[in-house]
Amino acid sequence: MDIGNRLKDLRLKNDLTLEELASRSELTKGFLSQVERDLTSPSVSTLSDILEALGISFTDFFKLEKPVQKVFKEEDFFVDEQNDYTINWIVPNSQKNMMEPIIIEINPQSSSMEIEPFDGEEFGYVLKGEIELVFKDEVKKVKTGETFYLLGDEVHTLLNRKNTVAKVMWVVNPPIF
């Protein structure tokens, strides 16, 4: 672990200057600068003072962060087959993220699950076929290559009236699927 860079990152995340951290930890600005540049190493006691000033424990400081997966392949997908549709979670465990993308395949003459009102937004891109975006008082047709964007403030569903499977990339923020 690169202690100096980790300390610098934490200082910057806390929006502190070297002078402010020096004051809080009762150390000199020059010493902290040397620590951040790995020109010197702090004692355990001094590191404890720095971490306390940064508001982080030893355990959290030394906890190794798992690398965040940035690319997902088909073998990473999670598939949930229902009677009328199949959901492909194309970013597994995305409910912890800000957005939740899925690819939903809606069987012929079938519909997706009904989406209850929620405080968020949705985006959809029809990859194959044609769907109807059905609201209480309104129906909008969306064909291959077209998109929809809406607030999640009313009940709605996707309906496939055709005799072939419709395929839609559907992204919600925050996650609700």
Residue 36 in contact with residue 51, Cβ under 8 Å? no
CATH class entry, domain 3-62: mainly alpha
The DSSP result for 65-110, as a single string, is PPPPP----GGG-EEEE-SSEEEEESSTTGGGSS-EEEEEEEPTTE
CATH code of 74-173, in short, is 2.60.120.10
What's the pLDDT tens digit per position in 104-122?
999 999 999 999 999 999 9
CB atoms within 10 A of CB 46: 17
Question: In the chain, which residues fall in CATH 1.10.260.40?
Answer: 3-62
Question: In the chain, which residues fall in CATH 2.60.120.10?
Answer: 74-173
Check residue 22 and report its DSSP letter.
Answer: H
φ, ψ dihedrals at 76, nearest 5°: -85, -20
What's the pLDDT tens digit per position in 129-157?
999 999 999 999 999 999 999 999 999 99
Q: Which long-range contacts (CB under 8 A, 24 or more apart) does 144-147 make?
A: 147/123
What's the pLDDT tens digit per position in 21-64?
999 999 999 999 999 999 999 999 999 999 999 999 988 888 86
What's the pLDDT tens digit per position in 62-79?
886 666 788 999 999 999
pLDDT, position 66: 66
pTM of the model: 0.64
Residue 149 in contact with residue 122, Cβ under 8 Å? yes
Strand partners, 72: none
